[in-house]
Structure 1
Amino acid sequence: MTFHLHLTGQVQGVGFRPFVWQLARSMKLKGTVSNGADGVHIYVNADLQTVRVLTRRIRAEAPALARIQSVKLAEVEPIDFGDFTIVESQAVGQASLLLTPDLALCDACRAEISDPANRRFGYAFTTCTHCGPRYSILRRLPYDRPTTTMAPFGMCADCEREYHDPSNRRFYAQTNSCPNCLVELSLFLASGQCITRDQSNIIQQSIDVLASGRTIAVKGIGGFLLLCDATNADAIHQLRERKHRPTKPLAVLYPNIDQLQQDCFLADDERALLTSPASPIVALDKRPELPSGLVADQIAPGLNQLGVMLPYTPLLALLADAFGKPLVATSGNRSGSPICYTNEQALDQLSAVADLIVTHNRDIVVPQDDSVVRLSPVFRQPIILRRSRGLAPTVMMTDIPHSNANVLALGASLKSTFAWQLRGNTYVSQYLGDLESYDTQTSFRATLDHFLTLFDAKPDAVLADQHEGYFSTQLAHELANIWGIPLVSIQHHEAHLAAVLAENKLMEQAEPVLGVIWDGTGYGTDGQIWGGEFIKYQHGGFERVGHFAYFDALLGDKMPREPRLSALSLAFNIPGADELLRPKFTEKEWNLYTKVGVQNKLKTSSVGRLFDAVAALLGLADKVSYEGEAALLLESCAARYVRVNGYTTSQHYLPETLLKAQVPTQAIVAGVVNDLQAGLPVGQIAATFHYTLVQAVAAVARQMGVQQLAFSGGVFQNALLVDWLRYELEPAYQLHFHQQLSPNDECISFGQIAQYTLITTNTVHVKTETAHVLSHSR
């Protein structure tokens, strides 16, 4: 008897075929295993009972990085196999496969590049079946060397032997190479002149430049990184000036975890994140003393935490080890542009930033920034700030109904992603930046085109935000027209809520859930700017049941860049606020902006702008250079107070009762102003403001009579707020946060798909206050 097992999920690029080969041989079975466009295929000669044992063992013993979604077993026409072998992959059938993310340098490969007796000593592209690039080098499916950018590199005799040796961890490692069949480094001056291709010379010259206080650009897995000495204030200042990034936090690359934990407090769960195959940047509390000499105030001005990472590629490990001190490691791009990922882009765009540029000749197909994660200090709630290298693009879970739908969602504008529900799998792209520049829009299109090529499919419907001014919405109209398919518009904050509901498997439960959706901006169905929303979900329907009271949205995109405008909007009519506000403006600005406020018709309920207002009133930020800066400074200020005093305050700025679940925004600001006038410490006021927001959630939840609360929106990147919500509201309420996705607008595309399934499925009755525009393409 011959049986066919078809396995789907994340089963390529994780050593799955060698694992099956070894397992089958240990069971004395004969047959084959191969990759296909739709997963892994196993043919085996055995009786049914033996095949079932094989299936159970595959599920139980699969490689750590594998994620098996399904195993289909069928008897087929008998085939007489002489042995069990790995056979050449067949690119037949419809592509239906979870894409394996890029994997960080494993311990075994790191040991080899550090061992003078090993033939890969100092080799910058050492990989095995457990580590190395995957998603970023994939041109087509299935995942095999000929379908990746490793195709041009032939293997030497030694690598070939490893590749075919079942006892070797490089057995069928598609990225395998060594100094005898090397991926080649090149070192360029900023002028574009290539000065050497000798690897050891490149490492040494790079270290010399870093030690002299200058900057180098280095090609990583997902694109170029800019490196400079993190202990040299002048070097950091120069990098900031060249990159036009005056205050935004910079990530720090430590050579090893021992040096890192001398500068930062490191818990076991944070260590696990840093050393995981994803190897993201992790936000850690810095210690009072920094033995490395790190210039923390220049790296993360005004903040309590540092974003730190460990070397996740052999090249970064070689550089970090040789330098011996922490390095600033920030995305290789011009401010506001996507990360450079081709050698040509780097030589063109980074020559004004970097003094040396280190390239190599293995192409990157899919550019990606580094992922960024933090954990809340008390409850250890994971919060993904940016989901990219190591985490994207596959999403495992969820309880989205209608899982066989084929639908493409193009997300929002800030923190853009797209999502595709296809053949039972869900893909959410890596973070693709803010779609306000032509370069970012071009990158968004290119990544989408790559997905369309990988899966050789087009969607049956395309989804977009209701804001017609977004590039993503305009692109959705364009694609719907080209493909002749329907376009469905999804309200921004409903998409946020749908995303967190689907992640927590709450979409099909009968019990009501109160969505608490707070962010900076989202187009509301009443034509105003929403951002402080309470949305009730039940029986597949969404109903906006409350919100923060509207206030004037002043001067368009200028308002989020200047927190003083939010302070002016909210505090202008509060007695005694003039003395706080006037010094923030020139006389000309004051006269102009106060007149604008009188004539203004556009309103907002944004909690993001409320954070801005409070931060400005407390003197933390009148103008900002990056999105969310004022909120981060306010959180840091409050966190310092809470660290000393605990979650003990009983003071807040709310009235005793809320009318119709409307939070009185101006009353909150009035409380802040009164406390400032009373001379209370700024940290105490910042903490009281956070506690006020917690009490606002509690008050609305009581009014709605719900026990389940779900949180989404960029405001919930605030770890102090997340912890305080859990501290105050659990266990009386069940709180649900994002698990695999960021609460910011990166989750919108996934939420659009989750919301669409509710619109189209017949299993639930959809009742929604906000209209969903379902139209054929224009």
Structure 2
Amino acid sequence: MIKPGISVSEDTLGYPNELETCWPASDQKINKDVETVYSITLTGLVQAIGFRPFVYQLAKKWNLKGTVTNGPCGVNIQILADRKIATDFLEEILSNPPALSRITGSKIVKGIFNKFKNFEIIESENNEISVSALLTPDLAMCEQCRRELYDNSNRRQRYPFITCTHCGPRYSIIQKLPYDRVNTTMQEFAMCIACRNEFNDPENRRFYSQTNSCKTCGPELFWYEIKKAQAEPVLLVSQEEILSAIKSALTNGKIVAVKGIGGYLLLCDATSENAVAILRERKHRPAKPFAVLYPDLKKLREDTLVTDLEAKLLQSPVSPVVLVKRKDRNSPTIAESVAPGLDQLGVMLPYSPLLEIIASDFQKPLVATSGNVSDSPIIFQDQKALEELADIADFILTNNRKIITPQDDSVIRFSALHQKKIILRRSRGLSPDIHITKITNSFPAQKIAFGASAKSTFCIQNGNEVNISQYHGNLANYDAQQDFEHSLNHLKNIFKLAYSGEQHTLTLLADMHPAYFSTHLAKEYAEKYDVPLRKIQHHKAHFAAVLAENDLDDDSGNVLGVIWDGTGYGTDGMIWGGEFFYKNQRLHFPYFHSLLNYKMAKEPRISSFSVFYAFSKQPLPALIKDKFTHTEWTYLNKAAGINTLKTSSIGRLFDAVASLTGLIDKTSYEGEAALLLEREAQRYFETNGYDFSASYFDKAEFLIDALISDVQAKKESSEIAAKFHYSLVKFIEYTAKKVGAKKLAFSGGVFQNAVLVDLVIINLTNNFELYFHKQLSANDENISFGQIAYINAAGI
């Protein structure tokens, strides 16, 4: 039986109208003497993962004649067969597709064509009318390539660019669709005879592998030494000498910039306090934790309590950075300055052959952080790397395979108790693909959503397919703005998005915040191309994103949205961040002063003053006043007296409690205060268990006076932190009961907090249905997708 979603047409010629822009019907005259073929069209993630070789092998097994080709909408197969064989063949494809593929749609239609002599892969169709295929993320090195990398008898032994149909760069090197070598940056490397033979051999794993290359014909490494802040090329005889030079530099405590799949990484010895201190000073990153690259899982287990679930993800085709618990924070193995004061490490295993060789040669953990100065995007252009990384690195390792789309490493964590997956950054290995069960194809079907600012992404809907970009960082940074526009224009050109007056009308979507760069850029595009621009409130976009991801659009009226973050421009002109949405109602955490603009987000002590000023009924305690100089205190009180801007931000509430408990008054990176407070709560629950009932909650407010009383009573900061986290859950429960909701959906950066997520699951599961993000980060990275989901759900 053909599965649901498959359409079988009895047309005598051609294709259904909705596919004509992707694979036009033959212009051949109908000839009753010509045999009939069935044409199968598959859409979704079906390019760049070995789908055509898979179909070829299957057709040979079935003894079928015909062709398979890539096209701008996916894969097209034509077979000479009767109706039953054709439908059975399609059913086998759908039942057992290649492991990394994801078929989102299929069509089978009947036509009239000439007889085929055999089955073959033919040149891809490059239709200029419409493109809607999903783009494949970059894929971590597979185990077969890893084995070849260490095989003394293999011609690709220690080849830094080894790939096959199952692994290697995809999204970072593609210039346009369909996915063929000529449309990637690998076009500059002509395959040697041996590689060409593999490419043409149906029995070979590299049959039709578009990234196929070897030491003879592939990309090359280039080694530079920094002298007087200038990158000077070092002429080494062989690639192996360069690889040896890397090991020597790292062993001697040097910092090496290495060109990876999505951009440059900065590497140094993670066991050396001196090397890490130098990197922090040069990178201007005083405390934010660094990711650590381990050579293998065995070495990783020596330092951490990595779970089976975490290990599986680390070795998956995504191969992200994963936050894992350290065995002993005071262990001498990893320098304390790698992740100061934290109980977790962000770790990764080598996901590219070059990193595999470097890590394996060094045999100790390496700091592996983005090649940039803090708050700037990852550098991916070679000349820019040679110029700007010369102030940070001692050596630079580059290569001549160009990167089209820059990407940081994805970052993922799991909650301690329930092992709930929480995506912190969605980039290499995950982007741009997203699998949503149902996309409301409201007119117009082409949309670009420009997202937010601090955790910027954009999202493109093209018909029934959605691609969400990689993380681009903070758009307050000029270089981040340039990268954002670069990636946006690249995907816009790939998908051939049409403007007003052409085949389709494009709609642009943006945040309501008047100062966001992304909003300004959307307005600029709308004016330039004369297309409509719609603005969606920040937290409503968050809510729409989690609803769509959980296929709750049709039931949205029965779902309470719990949307908590740091800041978002509200429809009343206030700074939202502690929101509840239910049946067109908005409830929120009580307003308190939003003071001194962005300074408040960087100095938790200001939040502690603001929260006390709003909610306390007691005289001001010294523990707050002593955080400020006399001049600062005078100015702050004056600002509070005339201030009219309010906030409901739970993110700022976390800052306030972190300051009141003495953890931190001034941060050096975003989210530091919340991270420290979460660390304290986790330590308490690990020691005392999760059966907790003490709360600061009462009548929709937190009793700030009670919290201060606990501080003054010198209760442990871990107990206060645990009590605060539990209080947040009780606030959610109180609000849900108040409005009568039985389904709860959570979004916003606050829900990257693993302790809070565990507590929500523990305490609310019995009485409510709970929905979290699964493929998207809870932070502002999901705003762009939420903007599209909001408009589609509204039918606008």
Count the aligned residue pairs. Answer: 747
The letter for the 1-side match of 2:211 is T
TM-score normalised to the size of structure 2?
Answer: 0.92
Indicate yes or no: 2:111 matched with 1:76: yes
Give matches, 1:274-423, under 5 Å. 274-288=314-328, 293-295=333-335, 297-402=336-441, 405-423=445-463
Indicate yes or no: 2:599 matched with 1:563: no
Aligned equivalents of 2:442 and 2:171: distance in 1?
A: 23
The letter for the 1-side match of 2:164 is C
Instruction: Give the secondary structure class of the aligned counterpart of 1:420.
Output: strand
The letter for the 2-side match of 1:216 is V
The letter for the 1-side match of 2:639 is V
Tell me if the contact between 1:624 and 1:630 (Cα under 8 Å) persists in the aligned partners: yes
Aligned to 1:550: 591
The letter for the 1-side match of 2:261 is I
Tell me if the contact between 1:400 and 1:507 (Cα under 8 Å) persists in the aligned partners: no
Q: Deviations over 1:472-491 (max 9, x none)?
A: 11111111111111111101
Indicate yes or no: 2:198 matched with 1:133: no
The letter for the 1-side match of 2:652 is R
Aligned to 2:688: 645
Tell me if the contact between 1:263 and 1:290 (Cα under 8 Å) persists in the aligned partners: no
Aligned to 2:253: 213
- Distance verdict in 2 for CA 1:61–1:399, change over 3 Å: closer
Aligned equivalents of 2:430 and 2:372: distance in 1?
A: 21
Shift of 1:721: 0.2
Shift of 1:90: 1.3
Aligned to 2:516: 470
Shift of 1:668: 3.5
Aligned equivalents of 1:576 and 1:543: distance in 2?
A: 36
Aligned equivalents of 1:700 and 1:25: distance in 2?
A: 61
Aligned to 1:501: 547
Aligned to 2:306: 266
Aligned equivalents of 1:32 and 1:298: distance in 2?
A: 58
Instruction: Give the secondary structure class of the aligned counterpart of 1:181.
Output: coil
Tell me if the contact between 1:283 and 1:305 (Cα under 8 Å) persists in the aligned partners: yes
The letter for the 1-side match of 2:675 is L
Shift of 1:378: 1.4
Shift of 1:403: 5.6
Shift of 1:94: 1.4
Aligned to 2:194: 158
Tell me if the contact between 1:262 and 1:291 (Cα under 8 Å) persists in the aligned partners: no
Tell me if the contact between 1:614 and 1:669 (Cα under 8 Å) persists in the aligned partners: no
Aligned equivalents of 2:396 and 2:620: distance in 1?
A: 52
| 2:725 maps to which of 687, 690, 711 | 690
Indicate yes or no: 2:254 matched with 1:223: no
**Identity of matched residues, %:** 50
Deviates more, 1:266-275 or 1:410-419: 266-275
Aligned to 2:179: 143
| 1:35 maps to which of 70, 93, 104 | 70
Give matches, 1:441-460, under 5 Å. 441-458=481-498, 460=506
Instruction: Give the secondary structure class of the aligned counterpart of 1:623.
Output: coil
- Distance verdict in 2 for CA 1:252–1:686, change over 3 Å: same
Instruction: Give the secondary structure class of the aligned counterpart of 2:697.
Output: coil
Shift of 1:117: 1.6
> Where does the alignment leave 5 or more consecutive residues of structure 1 unmatched?
762-778
Aligned equivalents of 1:431 and 1:732: distance in 2?
A: 35
Instruction: Give the secondary structure class of the aligned counterpart of 2:186.
Output: coil
Aligned equivalents of 1:180 and 1:441: distance in 2?
A: 39
Aligned equivalents of 1:400 and 1:416: distance in 2?
A: 22
Aligned equivalents of 1:175 and 1:131: distance in 2?
A: 9
Shift of 1:116: 1.6
Instruction: Give the secondary structure class of the aligned counterpart of 1:509.
Output: helix
Q: Deviations over 1:43-101 (max 9, x none)?
A: 11011100111101111121100011111101111321111011111111511101000
Shift of 1:424: 1.1
Instruction: Give the secondary structure class of the aligned counterpart of 2:216.
Output: helix
Aligned equivalents of 1:187 and 1:351: distance in 2?
A: 13
Tell me if the contact between 1:216 and 1:358 (Cα under 8 Å) persists in the aligned partners: yes
Shift of 1:336: 1.3
Instruction: Give the secondary structure class of the aligned counterpart of 2:242.
Output: helix
Aligned to 1:250: 290
Aligned to 1:617: 660
Q: Deviations over 1:282-335 (max 9, x none)?
A: 11111127878112x311112221110000100000000000000000000111
Shift of 1:648: 2.0
Give matches, 1:188-207, under 5 Å. 188-190=224-226, 191-196=230-235, 198-207=238-247
Aligned to 1:23: 58
Q: Deviations over 1:427-479 (max 9, x none)?
A: 11000111101111111111100011101113621111111111111111111
Instruction: Give the secondary structure class of the aligned counterpart of 1:445.
Output: helix
- Distance verdict in 2 for CA 1:292–1:81, change over 3 Å: farther
Aligned equivalents of 2:757 and 2:418: distance in 1?
A: 9
| 1:631 maps to which of 652, 674, 693 | 674
Tell me if the contact between 1:403 and 1:424 (Cα under 8 Å) persists in the aligned partners: no
Deviates more, 1:572-581 or 1:438-447: 572-581
> Where does the alignment leave 5 or more consecutive residues of structure 2 unmatched?
1-35, 499-504
Aligned to 2:525: 479
The letter for the 1-side match of 2:277 is H
Give matches, 1:666-685, under 5 Å. 667-685=702-720
- Distance verdict in 2 for CA 1:107–1:569, change over 3 Å: same
Aligned equivalents of 2:320 and 2:512: distance in 1?
A: 33
Tell me if the contact between 2:174 and 2:183 (Cα under 8 Å) persists in the aligned partners: yes
